[in-house]
Structures are given as C-alpha cells and as structure tokens.
Amino acid sequence: MDNPTVIKLINPETQLAFDLPMLSGTLGPDVIDIRALYQQTGLFTYDPGFTSTASCSSAITYIDGEAGILLYRGYPIEQLAEKCDFLEVCYLLMHADLPNAKELKNLIKSTTEHSMVHDQLTNFYKGFRRDAHPMAIMVGVVGALSAFYHDAIDIKRPDHRYICAIRLIAKMPTIVAMCYKYSIGMPFMYPQNKLGYVENFMYMLLGSPCETYQPNPVLVRALDRILILHADHEQNASTSTVRLAGSSGANPYACVTAGIACLWGAAHGGANEAVLKMLEEIGDVTQIGHYIARAKDKNDPFRLMGFGHRVYKNYDPRAKLMRETCHEVLTELGLHDDRLFKLAMELERIALEDDYFITKRLYPNVDFYSGIVLRALGIPSTMFTAIFAMARSIGWIAQWDEMIADPEQKIGRPRQLYTGPIQRDVTPIATRS
Ligand code: ACO
C-alpha cells in the first residue's frame, strides 16, 4: 500500500507547506493520507456523506462506479452470479477465496446445524404488535442474539468471531421467516436440515405445517441470486455503520443490528419496498408522465425509487443481472402481463430515454428489479428489506471481522465544522426574552 508520492498542502495564511503521503491500493484511486493533518496543521477536512473519503482499507469488495464493475475478493459479480451459489459467496467473503468441495460441504454442515434459534428467542417476537414492520422486529430480535451467545463473544479471538459469523449466516433466514409468520399469525416453521439454504428459507417463509411445500427451482435460483448480489457492497451506509459500531468493541450481534437499522432507510435498503409502493401509487402507465415530471421538479421531494446510486454513475452491474432474473421469473410464472410489471418496464424505458435521467446518470439500480422479483415470488413488499438484511449480513460480518483484525483499527470518531453560537453566558431566566 505504500507509495513514496506526496501531495503538498500550503496553508495560504501562514504559507507553511505540509507533505501529505499518497497511498495506493491494488485497484481504484489513490488516497491522500491525512491521518497526521490535524496534528501538523490544526485543520480538519470537511466531507459530509463521505463522498471523497476512504474510511478504512479493505480487501473484500471493489466497485468502479464509472465502469460499472463490482468484484468480491477479485471475482466479477457476473461470474459469481452465474457459477456460484450464495453459500460459496459467503465462504469467499469470509475466507478471501472460493471454497473447494470439502470446504463448502463443511460450511453447509455448520450453517445447517446452527439454523435453529434458541426457543426463548421466540418470546421476543411476542412482544411486538402483530402489524409491526419486519425491520422493527429484526432490529429487536437480532440485537437480542447478543444475550444468547456469551460462550463465544470474545471479539479478540478469531475462533469466536468465526462462530459468530456462522451463527448469523445460519440463523438469519430463520429469524426473517419468523418475522413474516408472526405478522400473518401463522406458526413458526422449524428449519429442515435436508433442504438447501435458500430452499429452506423459502420453506420457512412460504410453507405451512398443514401442507407439503416444494419450492420451484427457478425461484430458488432467483432468490439465491438476490442474496449473492446483495451480499456485500464495500463501505455503504449500513456497512460503515457496522464498522463504526464495532470500532468501539461492541459485540457483533449489536453491530449487525446497527447495520439493520441503517439499512431500513428508503435511500438504502428500503428502496425495493419503496419501488413497489411507488408503482402502486403510479397505478397505471398513463400516469408515468406526471410522476416523471414530479421527479424532475426541484420543488417536489418525490424521487423515482429504484433509480440512481451514490457510487454507480453507469449501469449497476447487479441491476443487469437482476433484470435478467426478473425476466426468467416472470416467464416461469407466466406473469409478463402483470399490471405492475408492465408499468415498471414502461417506467424503465421512459426514464432511460429521458434527458434528465441521462444527464444525471440515473440508471435503474438493483432494487428496481429485485422488488419486482420478490413480489413475483409471492413475498410481500414489507419483507423485502428484511431479505436484503439477510443477504447483507455476510458482508457486514466479513467487514466487521476484517476491521477487528486490522492493526490500524481505531475507534471511529469523526470531527465537525461547528456552526453554532460562540461561547456566551447563561442569564437569569427572568431576564431572558
Ligand atoms: N429521482 C429523481 N432525481 C434523482 C434521483 C431519483 N431517484 N436520484 C437522484 N436524483 C437527482 C437529485 O435530485 C440530484 O439532482 P440535482 O443535482 O439537481 O440536485 C442529483 O440527481 C444527484 O442526486 P443526489 O441525491 O445528490 O445523489 P446521491 O448520490 O447522494 O444519491 C441515491 C443516491 C440516494 C441512491 C439517490 O439516487 C436516490 O434517492 N435514489 C432513489 C432511492 C433508491 O433507489 N435507493 C437505492 C439505492 S441502491 C441500494 O441501496 C442497494
């Protein structure tokens, strides 16, 4: 990572010059190392939203938003989506390389063995109103996991961190499915060890104790792909939240819960649910023009959900893959004439041809399509973000683990540009206007 190049910073008031070292990664822009800036110059940098700031170094995921490239541990997302399943991707994110057959078998065994949750955890669900949003339940229940696994929560021990990762990957589908079953008043379904990871999730989510449930393999593959595409995305808002929470030494379940809370927002993981809500609101192709005009109006807060991305200023590679899956699923289910799907395709066409969206480089993002796929799978839109959280848990835990093992890791503590009142004295209440 070391690079002898330096950038000179000259303070215009004092004319003092400072050398700031440049660091190079294996891919992507070089960074200016400003760690000693304040100490040397008494200055902070200002970057709300971290648009130009690398908050850490990481060897997990690489994104080139201009070129539309996404790599997990160096492997292109297109190849992973075509050739691997979600558990192989989990192994890759955790261990830095793809598993061989034996390693994958071991991961399947461990995640299968840990898929049940402690029976007392079911009590936490009962504390929620039955119409609670699944993400509210997720924040509570995943946070509660911290109270169950004192046996392996020493974050300095790699073996403890590994077992935390396995527990999270294994239990997330069970926890998410239980959120849904609770909301519709159906009994919780126990995981079935004979089923694969995604099949088992679909069984727990959509099956019932009264009937046999046989997931359709095309739909299993589609959901598996959604999980792969959402597994990690470098230092996005929720992952940065997990890292920030973890930087204080908090336990991994608490950190992942912080990530879930962040993911809930409509500008992040809530987008696929928001896409469906928006399509319902538009209602009909004849109304698209009106909504496009609203999206372009600076005085109207309305935005086209599922369009635009902080990093991708080119077509999101995940959106391309999800679009393909979307068509496969709709063909399998004979849903091409579905009202909302037709509306979505027309919206996509118009937005891609519209000057506003072209010049601002606002392309459909992965969540524009994943919402449509999940709906076709029979999954209600309120569950979409919880499924995203299930997929992203591996990214969160891999990034958290990388941070804890990083010798340069420090507690995250940003500074600020203060714009409040300067120091003043408290006056007696009777004299205050
Ligand atoms: N519809 C209409 N206009 C938009 C949209 C949109 N979806 N997205 C951005 N713009 C406009 C903004 O108004 C802004 O215009 P201006 O330059 O005239 O002020 C310009 O494009 C840039 O937008 P910013 O908000 O500054 O871009 P930023 O990178 O901060 O935001 C974000 C990215 C939050 C994703 C934004 O595009 C958005 O709100 N999209 C809709 C929500 C969504 O789909 N989120 C999912 C993200 S993907 C994920 O989390 C997996």
At 100, is the pLDDT very low, low, confident or very high (cuts 50, 70, 90)? very high
Report the pLDDT value the prediction gives residue 103, as an integer from 0 to 100: 98
Answer whether residue 356 shows pLDDT above 80. Answer: yes
Q: Out of 309, 327, 337, 401, pick the active-site residue.
A: 309
User: One-letter amino acid identity for 309?
Assistant: H
Q: What would the pLDDT profile of 203-247 be if each residue is shown by its tens digit?
A: 999 999 999 998 999 999 999 999 999 999 999 999 999 999 999
Find the 305 Cα to ligand 1 centroid distance in Å. Answer: 9
Question: How many C-beta atoms surround the C-beta of residue 407 within 10 A?
Answer: 4
Q: Residue 177 CA to chain centroid, in angstroms?
A: 18
Find the 167 Cα to ligand 1 centroid distance in Å. Answer: 35
State how beta strands 75-76 and 17-23 pair: unpaired
Rounded to whole angstroms, how far apart are CA atoms 171 and 192? 13
Name which residue sits closest to atom 41 of ligand 1, judged by CA: 305
Q: What strands, in cross-sheet order, belong to the sheet with 2-10?
A: 2-10, 17-23, 31-32
Beta bridge partners, 197, equal none
CA distances to 85, 291, 298, 358 from 350, rounded to whole Å, are 34, 11, 19, 11
Answer whether residue 109 shows pLDDT above 70. Answer: yes
Residue to probe by mutation, ligand 1, list 288, 294, 310, most atoms within 8 Å of CB = 310
Residue to probe by mutation, ligand 1, list 362, 366, 387, 388, most atoms within 8 Å of CB = 362
Q: Round the average pLDDT of the chain to a whole number and report it.
A: 93
Q: Are 322 and 225 in contact (CB under 8 A)?
A: yes
In this prediction, residues 354-359 reach a mean pLDDT of 92
Q: What would the pLDDT profile of 152-177 be if each residue is shown by its tens digit?
A: 889 999 999 999 999 999 999 999 99
Report the pLDDT value the prediction gives residue 3, as an integer from 0 to 100: 52
At 339, is the pLDDT very low, low, confident or very high (cuts 50, 70, 90)? confident
How would you class 248 by CB atoms within 10 Å of its CB: exposed for 0-12, middle for 13-18, buried for 19 or more? exposed
Reported residue count of the chain is 433
